[in-house]
Amino acid sequence: MSSQNHIAIVGMAGRFPDATDLGTYFRNLKDGVECTRTFSDDELRAAGVSEQELAHPHYVRTGPVFPNIAGFDAGFFGFSARDAAIMDPQHRHFLEVSWEALEDAGYDPARFDGNIGVFGGSGHNAYMPYNLLSNPELVASVGFFLLRHTGNDKDFLTTRVSYCFDLRGPSLAVQTACSTSLVAIHLACQSLLSGECDMALAGGVTIELPHGRGYKYEEGEILSPDGHCRAFDHRSEGTFFSSGVGVVVLKRLEDAVAAGDHVRAVILGSAINNDGSNKVGYLAPSVDGQASAIVEALALAEVDARSISYVEAHGTGTPVGDQIEVAALTRAFRESTEETGFCGLGSVKTNIGHTDNAAGVASLIKVVCALEHGELPRTLHFDQPNPSIDFAKSPFRVQAELAPWPRLPASPRRAGVNSLGVGGTNAFVVLEEAPLSTPSGAGREVELLVTSARSAAAADRGLDRLGRHLADHPTLCLADAAHTLQTGRRAFAHRRAIVGRSAGEIGLAASTRDPSRVLVGLASEQPQKVVFMFPGGGAQYADMGRGLYEREPVYREEIDRCLALLRPRVGELRPLLFPSPSERDAASKQLERPSLSLPTLFATEYALAKLWTSWGSHRSP
């Protein structure tokens, strides 16, 4: 696969109903979990639902719950408790998930050699009118201007991330309603391809407020009468709205491969457009507009529609919306194939509901996880197809069951992600599974793994998580883990370091806090200078440095160079420095002579200094 004009997804993070991490998110999808719950009357009253609403015959008492909605690590980002309290929760969670996505990618933005852009959008800001403007004392003490600009208005979602992380690439707030986050991903790809940035964060967030309540069903609107989304089904009558946040980290594929990044999937092409006025009404979708965006994305990806084996649809479960979407997909696919029933079709909205501005990234993350696992989750509540959709004559079949995702004989797994926005902005992305990566080296016999945090308690929790992860993944390559922890994480003041030969050994040492393997420390506020100190005569011994000579190429090269330079003056020192077992005692005796001990000591010390220098120890942190 050529990497030209292709974008690598190198990191992802997200929080969705019943899932604070992507592992749980995808397990819920595979297990067919509908992430909603039924609220009691007391819970609904506590959420502000009136008695009149509760008594309404069409009040739906179900809905999704976003995990830890009020949670925010303000101190980590340098916010005071007051500043954090006046931030829209959408801004808080987008900020945290952006950092998590960078860590998943293995990058500390302060050490990245290039510009990093941010593209994203948020949903309606209900926090400001419900929680801030309703407090006259707060408004008077802070002022409306600062309340809006400190972290509430949609305009400041991405620029807040750029400011907190010191990112210098484009920082763009995107607002196209339900297609916002997929449009943000498309714009991030374009910025990377044009050279405006070298890495990009892209995604979206919606957090519904008030939270934890149902809704009143109105006939003819988009909301479902029973709190379920039945995409493409004969009983489909609407969707339900939900909360979520997702961010992906993107790089040009050729750059990601050259850097040895963990490529999770590849974006082959993407396109956006607008329906214009050629449709029933402003709120309605359009076959022509959607089909045009899909055709353009496939053309830019330079792939045949027949090679697409799955499409994650917008799939809102409305009778007309689903019908128009399948018609548009069919028209676009018919540009290159007349085959029927070869492509799976699904919608994550049947699991988590409609996450509005985060809907596109929720869909894309689902597909990336499916590509990685080689499994296609089922679309919930599908019994019989919507009679208005002629699936028999289309390229599509609803993915009604969890199933392995086979590869086609002539191509890797490929998928499409479709997203539509109220007002007509359409987006389509073509994805392909990641190329096979070159296995990393075996690493060292003993590896050093480091973690850090802003507080001692957080550092201990981080060490615990590391230990559990290693214990759960005993075959994990320790060299890879050590490299990522040392180069792909920000170094904070509270440090933990642990050494071991295997994942299981380190996991056990972390859980037991074995003092012989776990080092605890607090870094100085001022950068410390590094000084190389060389011992004098008397410290020498036969076989000194043999382990380093055998395992470290830099050390071996410098020892060989020193011995070659010393040979004309003092003879061959290698038999004294690295004697055979039978000659060790004799070599130790000869090394007592200053004329031999001092040169061997110098060679050892010099090679050791060069080795430490190659690891960067001479540079101030």
- pLDDT tens for 323-374 read 999 999 999 999 999 999 999 999 999 999 999 999 999 999 999 999 999 9
Cα–Cα distance list, 169 to 186, 583, 616 (Å): 16, 63, 28
Encoded tokens for 227: 């709190």
Encoded tokens for 353: 């509901």
Encoded tokens for 511: 């859980």
Cα–Cα distance list, 604 to 128, 227, 541 (Å): 66, 73, 11
- pLDDT tens for 573-584 read 999 999 999 999
Superfamily (CATH H level) for 7-433: Thiolase/Chalcone synthase (3.40.47.10)
- pTM for this model (two decimals): 0.91
Q: What is the DSSP string of 485-513?
A: HHHSS---SEEEEEEESSHHHHHHHHHHT
Domain positions in the chain are 7-433, 447-522, 546-614
pLDDT of residue 3: 58
Strand locations in 114-220 (E): 116-122, 171-173, 199-206, 215-216
Q: How confident is the model at residue 1 (pLDDT cuts 50, 70, 90)?
A: very low
Q: How confident is the model at residue 511 (pLDDT cuts 50, 70, 90)?
A: confident
Encoded tokens for 401: 């069951």
Q: Is the peptide bond before 17 cis (omega within 30 degrees of 0)?
A: no
User: For 265, which DSSP code?
Assistant: E
Please enumerate in sequence order all residues whose Cβ is within 8 A of that of 346, keeping only pairs 6 or more positions apart, or say none.
Answer: 231, 310, 311, 312, 313, 315, 376, 377, 378, 379, 398, 399
Nearest 5°: the CA angle 71, 116, 252 is: 115
In whole angstroms, what separates CA 144 from the centre of its chain? Answer: 35
Encoded tokens for 450: 């480091």
Q: 3-state DSSP call for residue 484?
A: helix
pLDDT of residue 621: 45
Cα–Cα distance list, 265 to 12, 318, 371 (Å): 11, 30, 7
Distance CA 153, CA 228 (A): 31
- pLDDT tens for 404-462 read 999 988 889 999 999 999 999 999 999 999 998 877 777 888 899 999 999 999 999 99
CATH number corresponding to 447-522: 3.30.70.3290
Number of Cβ atoms within 10 Å of the Cβ of 470: 25
Query: Does residue 59 contact residue 216 with C-beta atoms inside 8 Å?
Result: yes
